[in-house]
Amino acid sequence: MATIEGRFTGASALRIAVVVARFNDLVTAKLLSGCLDCLSRHGVDITEKSKQLDVAWVPGSFELPIVAQSLARSGKYQVLITLGAVIRGDTPHFDVVVSEASKGIATVSRETGVPVIFGVLTTDTMQQALERAGIKSNLGWTYALQALEMGSLMGDLNNSTVSS
């Protein structure tokens, strides 16, 4: 029996890209800071001169998939993290933005084989979003952990050979 699971060690060997939406950047900048804190504490170089981490900004969550697709297709990264915040109270087309972002991100991940973490907060109010971006907990930290796990897991799967 093989047990297949990701690890949180070896992060310094991963190349990671984070794509962040500027819309609601009061929230997304906090998600990014939690994300970078987690990556750094697991050994990822997050300095300006880092060769293992790139951060791309897009206008809103709707644009996350196309930029994630370009980065995934570049072949430079083992894992991507997308960060956004869509708030229902302020967004008549909430369902459209969330639907396109979530479907698009899932499609990029499946079609390229590069894991793409869905770090888009979908809340009813700004207060709820802020609570998830640092006032209570910071989900950016969790998304980074999930990225390390999936980067490691997919790396192991891609390198493994099936023997009988």
Residues with a catalytic annotation lie at 93
Q: Which secondary-structure segment (H or E) carries 120?
A: strand 116-123
Is 84 a binding residue for ligand INI by CB under 6 A? The answer is yes
Is 86 a binding residue for ligand INI by CB under 6 A? The answer is yes
Pick the closer one to ligand INI by CB: 111 or 124: 124
**CA 143 distance to own-chain centroid:** 6
3-class secondary-structure state, position 42: coil
**Interface pick for ligand INI out of 21, 36, 144, 147 (rule CB under 6 A):** 21
**CA 80 distance to own-chain centroid:** 5
Is 61 a binding residue for ligand INI by CB under 6 A? The answer is yes
Is 60 a binding residue for ligand INI by CB under 6 A? The answer is yes
Is 116 a binding residue for ligand INI by CB under 6 A? The answer is no
Q: How far apart are CA 157 and CA 8, in angstroms?
A: 16
- Which of 154, 102, 149, 136 has the alpha carbon at shortest distance from 34? 136
Residues that bind ligand INI (CB under 6 A): 21, 23-24, 59-63, 84-87, 90-91, 97
